[in-house]
């Protein structure tokens, strides 16, 4: 069986990338392989995580290229590497309708809340956890979804709930959501999608 060639797109720390690489190393990603990591910032620590594992990296820096050019370059790079699944992991560039349309059913994102709550434009990173604490909800979590033109609006593939504690700060809540939800459901879902993409009916899509 040919494995699905995965590209992970990151902007920062890359702990979700790490969780996926660790799953792969542990044999928990039999249907896929991470062959490329792309960052939109040359200082993204995710690049170091990739290099440590010998995964090829590419940087199309926000400071260097305007969005349209950056997106074209990312698209060309994905095609050149014959990528079958694009995994957004803390990637802070909102991709155009044309871009996501070209990877329909082959592009995933993780969001640090239970969508459709606390999602949409401007909701990313710590801002999400700040909004959760402000709303006073007792349960939050993480969501993995297909990416469509609507920000955080694509079909949901997996969710896991996490308790909000009375004394949580945005930072403590972010850590718990990552540890208890994101790092668990993202590798699992990537494997499930890769498995589905290796089925004969998906060939040539």
Applying CB under 6 A, which residues contact ligand GAR? 10, 12-16, 89-90, 110-112, 124-125, 128, 178, 182
Of 51 and 202, the one with the shorter C-beta distance to ligand GAR is 51
The residue at minimum Cβ distance from ligand GAR is 90
Q: Euclidean distance between the first and final Cα of the chain, in Å?
A: 17
Residue 82 CB, shortest distance to ligand GAR, in Å, is 25
135 C-beta neighbours (distance < 10 Å), count: 11
Residue 175 CB, shortest distance to ligand GAR, in Å, is 10
Of 13 and 153, the one with the shorter C-beta distance to ligand GAR is 13
The CA distance from 102 to 83, in Å, is: 12
Structure tokens at 5: 């060639």
Of 25 and 82, the one with the shorter C-beta distance to ligand GAR is 25
- Active-site position among 81, 111, 145, 202: 111
Q: Specify whether 81 is catalytic.
A: no
CA-CA-CA-CA torsion for 8, 78, 100, 9, nearest 10 degrees? Answer: 20
Beta strands 4-10; 85-88: pairing state: parallel
Residue 13 CB, shortest distance to ligand GAR, in Å, is 4
Of 49 and 106, the one with the shorter C-beta distance to ligand GAR is 49
192: nearest Cα among 104, 89, 85, 96: 85
Residue 181 CB, shortest distance to ligand GAR, in Å, is 9
The CA distance from 115 to 66, in Å, is: 30
40: nearest Cα among 10, 84, 77, 76: 10
Task: Give catalytic residues, as residue numbers.
Answer: 111
């Amino acid at each position: 069986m040919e494995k699905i060639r995965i590209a992970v797109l990151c902007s920062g720390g890359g702990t979700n990338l790490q969780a996926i690489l660790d799953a792969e190393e542990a044999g928990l990603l039999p249907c896929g392989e991470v062959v490329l990591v792309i960052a939109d910032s040359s200082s993204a620590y995710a690049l170091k995580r990739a290099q440590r594992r010998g995964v090829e990296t590419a940087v199309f820096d926000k400071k260097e290229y305007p969005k349209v050019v950056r997106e074209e370059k990312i698209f060309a790079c994905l095609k050149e590497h014959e990528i079958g699944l694009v995994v957004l992991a803390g990637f802070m560039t909102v991709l155009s309708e044309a871009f996501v349309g070209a990877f329909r059913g082959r592009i995933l994102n993780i969001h640090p809340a239970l969508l459709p709550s606390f999602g949409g434009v401007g909701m990313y990173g710590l801002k999400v956890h700040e909004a959760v604490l402000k709303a006073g909800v007792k349960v939050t979590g993480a969501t993995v979804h297909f990416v469509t033109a609507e920000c955080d609006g694509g079909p949901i593939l997996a969710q896991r709930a996490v308790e909000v504690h009375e004394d949580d700060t945005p930072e403590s809540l972010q850590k718990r959501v990552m540890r208890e939800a994101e790092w668990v459901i993202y590798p699992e879902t990537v494997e499930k999608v890769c498995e589905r993409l290796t089925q004969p009916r998906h060939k040539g899509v």
